[in-house]
A and B are shown apart, each in its own frame.
Chain A
Amino acid sequence: MSYVPNPRPAGDFRTTYKDDNRLFKTHFETRSALVLLAVVIVAAPFIGNYWLTQLILIGIYAIAAIGLNILVGTTGQISLGHAAFFGFGAFASAWLANSFGVPVLIAMPAAAVLTTAVGMIFGVPAARIKGLYLAIATLASQFILTDFFSRADWFSGGVYGALAERPSIFGFAFDSDLRYFYLVMFWLVVTAVAVTNLLRSRDGRAFVAVRDHYLSAEVMGVNLTKYRILSFGISSFFAGLAGALFGHYLEYVSVEGFTILLSIQFLAMIIIGGLGSVYGAILGAAFILLLPQVMESLTTMAAYVFPAMESGKSYVKQMSIGAAIILFLIFEPEGLIHRWQQIRASWKLFPFSR
C-alpha cells in the first residue's frame, strides 16, 4: 500500500489512547461530516423524484457494501454470495411482515438478524478454507440460496415473489419517496457509525489482523474461527438490513432480483470505493449506481452519430461495470477513497506537495 501522508493540524498532539481512537480524527472531519449530512437532509425535498430514487438506492446499496467491506476489505475473506444474503433479508422481512404481522419497522432489523444466522451457517466453511476456495464456496452459497428462494413457497412466495408493504409507525406511513429516503438515511448513518466504531474496537483490530497475517494473529491470541465466522455474520447482518429496506422500497420482492451479477456489483462497489473504508463503500455504491446511467446517456448521445449504438444501450451498461472493475484494479487498486486522500493531502501540504 503506497504511503499517503495524512497530516494533522499543528497543535493536535493526541496525548491519550482515547484521543488516538476517536471516531473522527479531527474537528474538521466531525464538522464536515455533519455539514454533509445536514445538506443532504435539507436538500432532499427539492431535488426531484429521479434523484431521490437514486439517493435511496445508493443509500441501500451503500449499507450492503459497508457490510461486505467488513468481510472482504477488513477481514480479507472473499464473498461472491452477498446478493443472496441481500435477497434473504428482503424475503425474510416480507415474510415476517406478511405471515406474522410483525410491524415492518421491526421486521427489518429482525430480518437482518435472521440473515446473520444464515450468513454464519454459510460462513462455517470459512473457518477451514480461505482465499480462492472460500470464493468458490460462497459462489455455491449464492446458487443454493437463490435456488431456495425459488423453491420455498412458504417463505418467498416461490416464483411469484412476495409483496412487501411500506412501513408505518403510529399512523405515520413511510409511503412517499421522501419519507422513505429519511428512513434509509437513518439506517445508513447508523450503519456507518456502528461499523466505524467496530473497526476501532478490539474486534475490528482482530479482523485486520486476520486479514494481514492470520498465523501471527492466531499466535497473538485471536481466535481465527470465531472471527472469520463473526465477520460473515456481521456482513450478512448489514446485507439483510439493506435487503429489507430494498424489498419494502420496491414493495415487491422477486426471485430474479438477486443474481450473481448483483453480488459482483457489490464487490465492484467496495473495490472501486476502496477496500476497508466506510466512506469508500458509500462512494463506490454511488459510482456503481450512477455509472450505468451516465453510460446510457452517453450512448444515447453517441446514437445520434452512430445509429448502431442505439441497440447496445443495455449492454453498454453492463460492459461499463466490467470495464470499471478491470480499469480500477489495474490503475487504482486502492479505490476512489485513496484518490480523495491524495487530493486532500496535496491540498493540506500545498506549497510542498508538488
Chain B
Amino acid sequence: MKWELFFQLLINGLIVGMLYGVVAMCFVLIYKSTQVVNFAQGEFLVLGAWVCLALVTNMQLPFFLAFIFTLIFMVAFGIIVQTVILRPLIGEPIISVIMVTIGLSIFMQALMNWIFGNDAKRFPDVFGTTDVINIAGLNVEVAYLLSLVLSVVIMAVFFWFFRFTRHGLAMRATAFDQQIAQSLGISVKQTFAMAWAISAMVSGVAGIVIGIVNSVSNSLAFVGIKVFPAVILGGLDSIVGAVVGGIIVGVLENLAEFADGQYLHLGNLYTIAPFYVLIIILMIKPYGLFGTKDIERI
C-alpha cells in the first residue's frame, strides 16, 4: 500500500511537473528574449482559465470554440501588456522592471477577484475527464493524461518553432544579442511583442488545463510562484532547463508530501519544500543545471 502510494504520487508529480515545465517555459521565453522577469505569469495563467470558463459557462460556447477565442484573447493581452507597460521601461534598472510586473500581478489579482469572484468553479465535464483508467495497477484520471499529452504537444511545438521557423530564429537571434539582431533587419519591437504574446497564450493553455484538472480559482496563480524554483533549478535562460526543472519540482513536491505523510508528519511540507531547494541551489550552483554562466571580464 505504501509503495503503491509512492508510485501514485510519483506519477502525479511527473504530470504536475510537466505543467510546471510548460509555465516555466513561458517564463523563460520572456526572460530570454526580453530580459524581463515576469512575476505576473501566474496571473496570466489564471486569466486564461477564467476567460475560457466564462466563455463556456456564460456564453454557452462549445469548448473548442471557447478555447480558440481564449487563445486569441491571450495573444492580444500579451501584446497590449508588452507595448503599454513594458516598452516604456526598456533600459531601466532591473528593479523597476521587476516591480512593474509585480504591480501588474497584484492589479490583475484584484481585478480578477472582482470580476470572476473568489470561489473555485469547475469546468463542465467536457471529455469525461473525471473517469479513471488503470495503467499497470495505478489509477490515473483521464484529465491528468490529457494534460500530459497536451504538455508534450506544447513542448514539441516550442521545439519546432524555435528550431525550424523564421520567427523562431529571429527570436533566438534577439535573445542572443539585440543590437546584432536589429542590424540584421529583425524588428526587435515585434519580437518582444511576439515573445509576450506566445508566453501569454501558452500560459493561458496551461491555465485551462490546470483548470480542467482541478478547478478554476484565483489560487491557481500560485503556480506562477512555483515556477521560480523550477526555472532557477534549470537555469534561468534555458528552455530545456525550464522543462527539466519543472518536472523535478513537481516530483519533489509529491515526494515531500509522501515523506511528510509517512514519516515526518510536519504537515504542509509540500508547499514549502521547493523553496528550501531553491535557496540551496542558489547557494551552490546559482546558474542552475543548464543556465549559461556569466563570466565577467574587466
Instruction: Check B104–A326 contact: CB distance below 8 A.
Output: yes
Q: CA–CA, A324 to B110, complex, Å? A: 14
A-B contact pairs, 29 of them (CB 8 A): A72-B95, A76-B95, A78-B98, A125-B279, A125-B282, A128-B282, A129-B286, A140-B229, A140-B276, A140-B278, A140-B282, A143-B225, A144-B272, A144-B279, A147-B271, A264-B103, A268-B99, A268-B103, A271-B95, A315-B111, A316-B110, A316-B114, A317-B110, A318-B109, A325-B103, A326-B100, A326-B103, A326-B107, A330-B88
Interface of chain A, main secondary structure: helix
Q: Tally A-B pairs: CB < 8 A.
A: 124
Query: In chain B, residues 200-254, which have Cβ atoms closer than 8 Å to a Cβ of chain A?
Result: 225, 228-229, 232, 236
Interface of chain B, main secondary structure: helix
Interface residues on chain B, size class: 35 or more
Instruction: Check A128–B275 contact: CB distance below 8 A.
Output: no
Within the complex, which residue of A143, A275, A319 is in contact with B275, where a contact is CB–CB below 8 Å?
A143
Q: Is there a chain A Cβ closer than 8 Å to B184's Cβ?
A: no
Q: Is there a chain A Cβ closer than 8 Å to B96's Cβ?
A: yes
Q: Is there a chain B Cβ closer than 8 Å to A141's Cβ?
A: yes
Instruction: Check B279–A315 contact: CB distance below 8 A.
Output: no
Q: Top 3 A-B pairs ranked by shortest CB distance?
A: A322-B107, A325-B103, A318-B110
Q: CA–CA, A76 to B110, complex, Å? A: 29
Q: CA–CA, A205 to B278, complex, Å? A: 32
Known: A140-B229, A143-B271. 6 other contacts (CB 8 A): A125-B283, A135-B37, A143-B225, A144-B275, A264-B106, A319-B106
Within the complex, which residue of A125, A139, A323, A333 is in contact with B103, where a contact is CB–CB below 8 Å?
A323
Most buried by A among B88, B99, B225: B99
How many whole Å from B270's CB to the nearest CB in chain A?
Answer: 11
Q: CA–CA, A76 to B93, complex, Å? A: 10
How many whole Å from B111's CB to the nearest CB in chain A?
Answer: 6
Instruction: Check A133–B286 contact: CB distance below 8 A.
Output: yes
**Which residue of chain B is the closest to A322 with respect to CB atoms?**
B107
Q: CA–CA, A72 to B94, complex, Å? A: 11
Chain B residues with CB under 8 Å of A125's CB are: 279, 282-283
Q: CA–CA, A280 to B298, complex, Å? A: 35
Q: Which residues of B contact A (CB under 8 A)?
A: 37, 85, 88-89, 92-96, 98-100, 102-111, 113-114, 225, 228-229, 232, 236, 266, 268, 271-272, 275-276, 278-279, 282-283, 286, 296, 298
Q: CA–CA, A83 to B11, complex, Å? A: 36
How many whole Å from B81's CB to the nearest CB in chain A?
Answer: 10
Chain B residues with CB under 8 Å of A322's CB are: 103-110
Chain A residues with CB under 8 Å of B114's CB are: 311-312, 315-316, 319
How many whole Å from A174's CB to the nearest CB in chain B?
Answer: 34
**Which residue of chain A is the closest to B31 with respect to CB atoms?**
A132
Q: CA–CA, A351 to B268, complex, Å? A: 66
**Which residue of chain B is the closest to A321 with respect to CB atoms?**
B106
Instruction: Check A330–B279 contact: CB distance below 8 A.
Output: no
